[in-house]
Amino acid sequence: VTTKSGAIVVGVGDELLAGRIDDTNARLLSVVLRRAGYPVLRREVVGDDPDAIAVVVGRARADAAVVVVTGGLGPTGDDLTRFGIAKAFGAALRRDATAEATLRDAYARRGRPLPPGSLVQADIPEGFAAAPNARGTAPGLLRAADDGVLLAAPGVPAELEGMLDEILLPILATRPERGTPPKALQITTAGLAEAEIGALLSDLLIRGRDPIAGSYPKSGRVVLTLETFREGADADLALKVDAETIRDRVGSAFVGFGDLKLNEVVVRAAIEKKTTLAVAESLTGGLVSDGVVEVPGASAVFVAGIAAYKDEAKRAVLGVRAETLDAHGAVSEACAREMAEGARRLTGADVALATTGIAGPDGGSIEKPVGTTWFAIADAAGTVANRRVFLGGRAEIRAYARERAFDLLRRRFFGLPLDSAVKDGAGS
Amino acid sequence: VTTKSGAIVVGVGDELLAGRIDDTNARLLSVVLRRAGYPVLRREVVGDDPDAIAVVVGRARADAAVVVVTGGLGPTGDDLTRFGIAKAFGAALRRDATAEATLRDAYARRGRPLPPGSLVQADIPEGFAAAPNARGTAPGLLRAADDGVLLAAPGVPAELEGMLDEILLPILATRPERGTPPKALQITTAGLAEAEIGALLSDLLIRGRDPIAGSYPKSGRVVLTLETFREGADADLALKVDAETIRDRVGSAFVGFGDLKLNEVVVRAAIEKKTTLAVAESLTGGLVSDGVVEVPGASAVFVAGIAAYKDEAKRAVLGVRAETLDAHGAVSEACAREMAEGARRLTGADVALATTGIAGPDGGSIEKPVGTTWFAIADAAGTVANRRVFLGGRAEIRAYARERAFDLLRRRFFGLPLDSAVKDGAGS
């Protein structure tokens, strides 16, 4: 049994070193391994060079109990991770029969011939096992021995995540080198900016405090993380006290405990309440509709989404009146209301939401700057409307609008005010 | 003069290793240093620990001509980079009079008292100079000697960028270790898997070749990068020859030169051809519609998108016949065709695309496994249909289907076959 602890993360790829792609896997692994009791001691990125991979992997396994290598496991000539790892361990590569059968089967199911050279993905270093890849074709390489654990996984984020959940974490949970992870609790808020949250919680967001609070802005949401190294009931109590303080201070911006997605919160609430949904989108052009369909089980409540981008479509499909468009324009409270009401009428849904705004880069004015967005929600109780002006480029404006749409549905579903009140100086 | 070349990038910070923030500096440095003639050989991230910093910095200066360290230069107790660097060089720290005066001046100008302990930022290792920070208070640490260059810069991206432009790059431009930056050319393909591309181009994707080709799979596309270290007209010719070879071999999968997004290619072509578009989506539920609206200028050609998720909506809004749904189900060629034709009729668009499939996790069968997706395109020339079976989770299946939809529109627009022919063993 080793006296090593912690983990080292190694990313492989010339495209990483050239700065062509972001190394999002390193951050994911940092979070996941830390929570599993293996704090990351070091991260490294090397190119597609078997010698360099061998040096870095050799160093990593000497320094840490767990090593995770990502990337370079595909079938092409610049996928060289298996050769570097084999070299680091002085192991020969041998063809794995199960991995070969799995590869052949994956192509057969798609009705495509197996490309020449792709069986290299079934070549596994001695002492390693082929780690099944539930979301792709390239298997991973796994070694779990007394002197440590090494997983080499594909660089494709979804495939890596699958291997972590299904293969690595169950192994790590049983190992003696496992440390005590901090106990953590997350809280999702929506409708307040990070700076507003920061002002409300300034006494909790102090370095060295335990529990320590951190705030991480995500599109349209702020996720707060509380972490404590206290143990047992003491830890739970400390987290609970701070969590209640936060819940109380953020008011209607409190979405729930955990890192919650607003579309999931809304669609699950609709499923539970047996409330059917429809969407009429201009600015967001399908993003809100997509956010509904993204949630498994959405088919029980989602009737239809209409992306009515041109004024003709708003009139012909949704029944927005020509006078409304003439008098107020498409980006107006009146148009948003008629879009929502039209979508509800057309689809027979219980609740219909509409968006209309200016995503830019052109089309803004002093009165209606780029980012101006009107929302409306029509339901049995009537129609409500709400306006926001989002900052950023076209993509950010549309992404914020999508999240705001779901936050408005959340607030409407749970009888909350459509806007969070910001109390000056509260909490400070 | 050293025989070392290239650069190593070191990020310092517990918040990086805990995964609380993204290491955006590493990618920026990768791009900037490579363009300056110092390809990045390795990237490392370490925590706020002077011993670990000393080990990594010592290793980095032994392996590369240029080392850039970011983060850990501030005034608080966990800013320990200067101590780690001093240790790596066996150098004592001494107070720098100019740096001290600059710090005192910065606070005086803001009318704020100098916080206790902040003069540690003026402590510089012997053999280093204080690097002025035009955008913040903490100076950097700079050493430019015969055996290599080291810059330690703040982790704040704007401050780092300022120091790169104003201090590091002018020094690097004059050093003998400077390499020739590669000339590069990118090619986007769609409709062939990375392994299929790899098989077609196996003679080009070989380490050590010049130009060297690399392939990077992105959702629904494969982007190829050709790079050469040849110079002048020789470089241009070598890139052109290989590019033409690739273009010829991948056939209808060739999208264009550059890292091109399929939705942008399609919408720009529609704008140019003055062809109006409509979309009817089930599986993708708004993703394709969103992909159209994402492109600036889409309003000139996009009429409307209908996310008809439930069968009732397919019937009521798009006019899919009840007999079709009864006989074939919603995930069928017949339904896809009627959806596309219905959307074209409803919106009056020149071209309408439809998607219908099984995103999972439930709803699959042996005959129609999860991932089965039918596409149809209706235009003045008639209606065509196409089927794919995508692997992965719900999110991946829907994302692949979105990209495939745009690739089908691209192929239809440019008169290409809907599927790339895969020739067994071609190119190998």
* pLDDT confidence of residue B158: 80
How much is the pLDDT for A2?
59
All residues of chain B having their beta carbon less than 8 Å from the beta carbon of residue A214 are 20
**Cβ atoms of residues B148 and B175 within 8 Å:** no
| Chain B interface test: which of A55, A68, A290 (most B C-beta within 10 Å) | A290
Q: Quick one: what percent of chain B has pLDDT higher than 90?
A: 70
List C-alpha distances in Å: A127 to A55, A101, B49: 19, 20, 34
- Smallest CA–CA distance, residue B97 to chain A, in Å, is 31
How much is the pLDDT for A425? 34
CB-CB neighbors (< 8 A) of A47 in chain B: 41-42
Contact yes or no for B196 and A115 at CB 8 A: yes
Residue A348 has pLDDT above 80, yes or no: yes
Residues linked to residue B145 through DSSP beta bridges, in sequence order: B148
Radius of gyration of chain A (CA): 26
Residue whose pair of structure tokens reads 């008629």 in the numeric block: A338
| Distance spanning both ends of chain A, measured CA to CA | 50
Residue A304 distance to chain B (closest CA, Å): 5
Closest CA in chain B for residue A214: B20
Of B30, B287, B394, the CB nearest to A286: B287
pLDDT at residue A428, as a whole number: 27
Q: In three state form, how does the secondary structure of chain B look?
A: CCCCCCEEEEEECHHHHCCCCCCHHHHHHHHHHHHCCCCEEEEEEECCCHHHHHHHHHHHHHHCCEEEEECCCCCCCCCCHHHHHHHHCCCCEEECHHHHHHHHHHHHHCCCCCCCCHHHHHEEECCCEEECCCCCCCCEEEEEECCEEEEEECCCHHHHHHHHHHHHHHHHCCCCCCCCCCEEEEEEEECCCHHHHHHHCCCCCCCCCCCEEEEEEECCEEEEEEEECCCHHHHHHHHHHHHHHHHHHHHHHEEEECCCCHHHHHHHHHHHHCCCEEEEECCCCCHHHHHHHCCCCHHHCEEEEEEECCHHHHHHCCCCCHHHHHHHCCCCHHHHHHHHHHHHHHHCCCEEEEEEECCCCCCCCCCCCCCEEEEEEEECCEEEEEEEECCCCHHHHHHHHHHHHHHHHHHHHCCCCCCCCCCCCCCC
Report CB contact under 8 Å: A41, B34: no
Contact: B392, A136; criterion CB under 8 Å: yes
**Which of A29, A113, A287 lies at the smallest CB-CB distance from B424?**
A113
Pick from A32, A43, A76: CB nearest B17: A43
Q: Is the Cβ pair A34, B18 closer than 8 Å? A: yes
Q: What is the pLDDT of residue B2?
A: 59
**Pick from B16, B44, B195: CB nearest A75:** B195
Determine the residue of chain B that is closest to A108 in CA distance: B389
pLDDT at residue A207, as a whole number? 60
Q: Round to whole Å and give the CA distance between B333 and B316.
A: 19
- Residues in chain A with CB shorter than 8 Å from the CB of B299 are 309-310
Rounded CA separation B286/A304 (Å): 10
| Contact across the interface for B313 and A27, Cβ inside 8 Å | no
CB contacts < 8 A (A, B): 301
Least confident of A320-324, A331-335, B55-59, B217-221: B217-221
pLDDT band of A76, cuts 50, 70, 90: confident
Tens digits of residue pLDDT in A392-425? 788 889 999 999 999 999 999 999 999 987 543 3
Which residue in the set B45, B202, B424 is minimally distant from A42, CB to CB?
Answer: B45
Q: Determine, for residues A293 and B286 on separate chains, whether the beta-carbon distance falls below 8 Å.
A: yes
Question: Measured between CB atoms, which of B16, B285, B393 is closest to A135?
Answer: B393
Suggest the residue from B293, B295, B358 to mutate for an interface test with chain A (most A CBs closer than 10 A). Answer: B293
Mean pLDDT of chain A: 91
| Least confident stretch, A176-180, B112-116, B293-297, B409-413 | B112-116
B299:A310 CB<8 A = yes
Q: Which residues of A touch B206 (CB under 8 A)?
A: 77
Point out the least confidently predicted range of A23-27, A235-239, A290-294, B217-221: B217-221
Confidence bin at B353 (pLDDT 50/70/90): very high
ipTM: 0.73
Q: Indicate the angle between helix axes A50-63 and A81-88, nearest 10 degrees.
A: 50
Amino acid at B74: G
B9 within 8 A of B29, measured Cβ to Cβ: yes
Using a CB-CB distance cutoff of 8 angstroms, which residues of chain A are in contact with residue B29? 19
Check whether B427 has a pLDDT greater than 60.
no
Confidence of residue A198 (pLDDT cuts 50, 70, 90): confident
The total of other beta-carbon atoms located within 10 Å of residue B310's CB is 20
**Residue of chain A nearest B388, judged by CA positions:** A110
Q: Does the beta-carbon distance from B215 to A46 stay under 8 Å?
A: no
Considering only CB atoms, A285 lies closest to which of B76, B202, B292, namely B292
Fill in the amino acid letter for B219: S
Mean pLDDT of B398-410: 97
* B17/A293 touch (CB, cutoff 8 Å), yes or no: no
Average pLDDT over every residue of B237-259: 95
Give chain B positions within 8 Å (CB) of A41. 17, 46-47, 52
Q: Which of B344, B412, B401 is nearest to B371 (CA)?
A: B401
Inter-chain touch B195–A137, beta carbons under 8 Å: yes
End-to-end CA distance of chain B: 44
Q: Which amino acid is at A74?
A: G
| Tens digit of each residue's pLDDT (9 = 90 or more) over B277-288 | 999 999 999 999
Q: Which residue of A has its CA nearest to B203?
A: A77
Min Cα distance B156 → chain A (Å) is 17
pLDDT digits (tens, 9 = 90+) for B210-219: 898 888 778 7
Q: Which residues of A touch B317 (CB under 8 A)?
A: 304, 306, 346-347
Cβ <8 Å between B317 and A304 = yes
pLDDT for B364 beyond 80: yes
CB contact under 8 A, B309 and A302: yes
Find the CB nearest B44 among A44, A136, A293: A44
Per-residue model confidence (pLDDT) at position A114: 87
| Average confidence (pLDDT) over B340-366 | 93
Q: How many CB atoms lie within 10 A of CB A175?
A: 19
Query: Which residues on B lie below 8 Å from A115 (Cβ)?
Result: 193, 195-196, 198-199, 422
Verify whether the Cβ–Cβ distance A56 to B42 is below 8 Å.
yes
The confidence score (pLDDT) of residue B424 equals: 39
Q: Name the closest residue on chain B to residue A118, using Cα atoms.
A: B195
A159, A309, A318, best to mutate vs chain B, most B CBs in 10 Å:
A309
B46 and A42 within 8 Å at the Cβ level: the answer is yes
Residue whose C-alpha is closest to residue A153's, from A144, A140, A165, A166: A140
> What's the pLDDT at A187?
95
Of A298, A302, A306, the CB nearest to B306: A306
Span A200-222, pLDDT tens digits: 887 887 666 888 887 776 778 88
Contacting residues of A for B27, CB less than 8 Å apart: 19, 22-23
Query: Is there a contact between A299 and B307 if contact means CB atoms under 8 Å apart?
Result: no
Give the gyration radius of chain B's Cα atoms.
Answer: 28
Distance CA A372, CA B316 (A): 33
Cβ contact, residue pair B29, A14, below 8 Å: no
